Amino acid sequence: MNKSSFLLIFILTLVLFASCARKAADGTRTPLLEVEGKFLYLDEVQQIIPPHMNDSDSIEIAKSYIRKWVTDVLMYENAKRNVTNQAEIDEMVESYRKSLTIHQYQQKMIEQRLPNEPTDEELKAFYTQYSDQLILKDNIIKGLLLVVPEKAPRMSSVRSWVQSANLKSLENIEKYSIQNAISYDYFGDKWMVFSDILKKMPLQLEDPANFIATNKFIETSDSTKHYFLRIESYRTIGQVEPFEMSKDRISNILLNKYKADFISKFETELYEDAVKDEDVSFFKIPQSAKEK
């Protein structure tokens, strides 16, 4: 934003808030306005203006920010003068401050003492133990999908390459797709949800699970495109989710468990050490107090 734009904002601000009584401002900064003893400075407005924005839009953003800033100050000051349960608010603020401070301390302890991620052995052990809870809700496949124009060249070769899908054929498909393909998706090394692949093809299936179980090569077309699908591997709804797909989710589960266990153990040790070191003083309750 250029200097002329900020000058205009400054002038507008002076017009809008000329009635404000100027108090002592920060001498190292340029104040734009004062309300209820609070100052808004030029550098604060500059920070919210996106770079390379034209003057008129910059001015509108600045005016909106100034209006919101003033309204927030006025609302807060009026609230402080009229709210009667300030002690309750102070108690809530202190409770939040305590919770936030404890949380920050716990996070720091976790970062220092816990590993960033579980080991492969821990991941696999969890996968083995809880595989009955890792059940697929979608049919998934590995393979490739090649889409070419209906009259693309060398169709018989392309068909043969997709059907075999060996290393040499994949190299040929890669080279061919650069010049001739509409799209080429290779997912032989990762699982894909079959319904997402179907969205890219003109296929309507009544039983997708049976289809992927009984077909390794699918060829179809519409009025403008020809589709070649190769299915290398598959798993269907109700089967156990592959370890590769579960890995990230298992990692998050284990990390959350490690964090919860660490905090629980740390709190227990903190309490027991305090009692042992007599940092906690227990008082004997009089019998009369017990009877009340």
151-190 residue pLDDT tens:
999 999 999 999 998 999 999 999 999 999 999 999 999 9
Residue from 3, 69, 9, 61 nearest 36 by CA: 69
The length of the chain in residues reads: 292
Is pLDDT at 17 greater than 70 in this prediction?
no
Q: Count other C-beta atoms under 10 Å from residue 194's C-beta.
A: 22
Q: What is the mean pLDDT of the chain?
A: 89
Q: Looking at residue 84, what is its pLDDT?
A: 84
Report the alpha-carbon distance of residue 240 to residue 106 in Å, rounded: 36
Q: Give the SS3 label for residue 241.
A: coil
> What is the distance in angstroms between the CA of the first residue and the CA of the last residue of the chain?
72
Q: Looking at residue 5, what is its pLDDT?
A: 54
Is pLDDT at 53 greater than 80 in this prediction?
yes
CA-angle at 99, arms to 94 and 104, nearest 5°:
125
59-76 burial string, b = 16+ CB within 10 Å, else e?
bebbeebbeebbeebeee
CA-angle at 94, arms to 91 and 97, nearest 5°:
155
92-120 burial string, b = 16+ CB within 10 Å, else e?
eeeeeeeeeeeeeeeeeeeeeeeeeebee
* DSSP β-bridge partners for residue 33: 40
CA 269 to chain CA centroid, Å, is 34
Q: Give me the mean pLDDT over the 203-224 stretch.
A: 95
Is pLDDT at 55 greater than 80 in this prediction?
yes
Q: Looking at residue 6, what is its pLDDT?
A: 53
pTM, whole model, 2 decimals? 0.66
Is pLDDT at 51 greater than 80 in this prediction?
yes
Residue from 207, 192, 179 nearest 145 by CA: 192
Q: Give me the mean pLDDT over the 240-266 stretch.
A: 95
For residue 231 the two structure tokens come to: 């299915």
Q: Are 224 and 149 in contact (CB under 8 A)?
A: yes
The most confident of the ranges 55-64, 154-163, 269-278 is 154-163
Is pLDDT at 2 greater than 70 in this prediction?
no
Residue from 157, 179, 178 nearest 168 by CA: 157
* DSSP H/E element including 205: none
Is pLDDT at 18 greater than 50 in this prediction?
no
Q: Give me the mean pLDDT over the 92-105 stretch.
A: 95
Q: Looking at residue 10, what is its pLDDT?
A: 53
Lowest mean pLDDT of 11-25, 95-109, 150-164, 272-286, name the range. 11-25
